[in-house]
Amino acid sequence: MSEFDNNPFVDPMDVNPFQDASVTEVTTGGIEHVEEFNPFSSNAMGSQSGTTIPISAASSQPAVLQASVEPSPQATAAAAQANLIRQQEELERKAAELDRKEQELQNRSQGGSAVKENNWPPLPKFFPLKPCFYQDFNEDIPEEYQKICKRMYYLWMFHSVTLFLNVLACLAYFTTDPGKGVDFGLSILWFILFTPVSLICWYRPVYKAFRSDSSFSFFFFFFVFFFQVAVYIIQSVGIPSWGNSGWIASISMIRTNVAVAVVMMVVAGFFTVNAVLAVILLKMVHSKYRRTGASFNKAQQEFSQGVFTNSTFQSAAAGAASSAAQGAFQRN
């Protein structure tokens, strides 16, 4: 029963793992501990003395500073001076061009060799009537004003086409209602009257104003064109018996004849477009006019000079002065 006195949970031999021969040999050896290692000792320095790299060999190139990207004051001043010189050359070129055109106009007015034949309206040579005006945008009008001047010309052409279509619409109006003969007759009168009058009274003045930088022509154009805008508005409204195929007259024809009402509405739309374009171009011409340096005093001077230098006015004034002198001499 002695075997039952032993404890099964106890090892039969008490073995110490650190008493192994290999472990004892290592722990009792002469290896230097890590904590006792001195990197600056003579042995460590001697072992690494052959690998020292001199400072001069580490970097053979000097440090280079990057140049500043900001322009210097001298470069800025040079650029500004070059810009001023370029602007001055542009102004001198424009002044020379204006002088040349002014000289050509003077030669033309004096009957010199530079006189050019009228080319507008472009009529065939066999036609009994001859052109009345000379017109050349590229030659007469400075480049910065050519676009606005051409737009005014296109507006006049659109104005003439609208008046012609108004005659046709009023004719259809008259065929539907015989009592509308007044509108048809007035539409013919407006077409015959307003087509040449608009050309002479507001298109040619604005053409002359841009051609010769005339303040008087600008003021004359503004005065006449303001009333032209008012006429466009009246024509687009279409007051009955006024000879205009406007909105009131066209809407009143819807119950009577739809086809004639549609034709009249198209013409009323044309009159409305004329009014809108006229307002826009009037504003554009005014902005161009303010850049030219024109003024009311300059317009008065141009008008007085034009009147006093007119040969007809001079002959009339001379005749009146001689008649007054003779009358005063006879009284004495």
Please report, for the chain, the start and end positions of each structural domain, with discontinuous segments joined by +: 140-304
pLDDT at 271: 97
Dist. CA 105–CA 140, nearest whole Å: 9
Dist. CA 172–CA 160, nearest whole Å: 19
Q: Are 132 and 145 in contact (CB under 8 A)?
A: no
pLDDT at 58: 47
Interval 40-58: pLDDT, tens? 555 555 555 555 555 544 4
pLDDT at 91: 85
Dist. CA 109–CA 112, nearest whole Å: 8
Given the structure tokens 């104003």, which residue do they identify?
A: 209
Task: Find the length of the chain.
Answer: 332
pLDDT exceeds 90 at position 151: yes
Taking residues 117-127, what's their average pLDDT? 84
Q: Are 18 and 24 in contact (CB under 8 A)?
A: yes
List b or e across 220-255, with b for residues whose CB sees 16 or more CB atoms inside 10 angstroms.
bbbebbeebbebbeebbbbeeebbbbbbbbbeebee
| Strands in 121-246 per DSSP E | none
Count the neighbouring beta carbons within 10 Å of the beta carbon of residue 309: 9
Dist. CA 183–CA 238, nearest whole Å: 10
Q: Are 261 and 251 in contact (CB under 8 A)?
A: yes
pLDDT exceeds 70 at position 217: yes
Closest CA to 162 of 280, 269, 276, 237: 269
pLDDT at 170: 95
Q: Are 122 and 192 in contact (CB under 8 A)?
A: no
Strand, coil or helix: 133: strand
Read off the pTM: 0.60
pLDDT exceeds 80 at position 6: no
Interval 183-205: pLDDT, tens? 999 999 999 999 999 999 999 99
* Residue 322 backbone phi and psi in degrees, to 5: -70, -40
Which position has the higher pLDDT, 276 or 18?
Answer: 276
Least confident segment among 14-28, 114-128, 168-182: 14-28
Q: Are 142 and 148 in contact (CB under 8 A)?
A: no
Dist. CA 152–CA 141, nearest whole Å: 13
Q: Are 110 and 103 in contact (CB under 8 A)?
A: no
